[in-house]
Amino acid sequence: MQRNTRQREAIRLAFLGNAHPMTPAEVRETAEAYADGIGIATVYRALKQLCRDGWLVRLELPGEQVSYYERAQQHHHHFVCRLCQRLSKVEGCPPNLRELTPDGCMLEDHQLLLYGVCATCRGGQAP
Ligand SMILES: [Zn+2]
Ligand SMILES: [Zn+2]
């Protein structure tokens, strides 16, 4: 396999083996397990291509410089850890958003971000 192809494949494997959304730096770190010496420029190129292919989506957080990437999937939301900035997927979606919509307005879309401290940062203990 060509070097570039192998590196792109390593980046895909990084996403398949990792459920939470990743920053480019995290993608690079994770992909290192599958192929050596992946440069950050290669990571950015591959991420861009995989987004174009519809395999990945880019997530931007309000007030954050860095973007996150995750596998394209059904509508869902995220929990952001304030300490390690790791994103986790949130199951479920608030049911009563239409009731919150001001009178006379038509709800078309929504985003939801939960902020807090993740299980790892809390000491790995699930409650
Ligand atoms: Zn954390
Ligand atoms: Zn939702």
Q: Is residue 1 pLDDT above 80, yes or no? A: no
Residue 86's SS3 state is coil
**Residue boundaries of the structural domains of the chain:** 3-71, 77-116
Q: What percent of the chain has pLDDT over 90?
A: 74
Residue-wise pLDDT tens digits, 61-105: 988 889 999 999 889 999 999 999 999 999 889 889 999 999 999
Q: Which residues pair with 59 in a beta bridge?
A: 68
How far away, in angstroms, is 46 Cα from ligand 1 center? 27
CATH class as words, domain 3-71: mainly alpha
103: amino acid identity, one letter: D
How far away, in angstroms, is 36 Cα from ligand 2 center? 38
What's the pTM? Answer: 0.83
Q: Please give the pLDDT value at position 19.
A: 80
How far away, in angstroms, is 75 Cα from ligand 2 center? 6
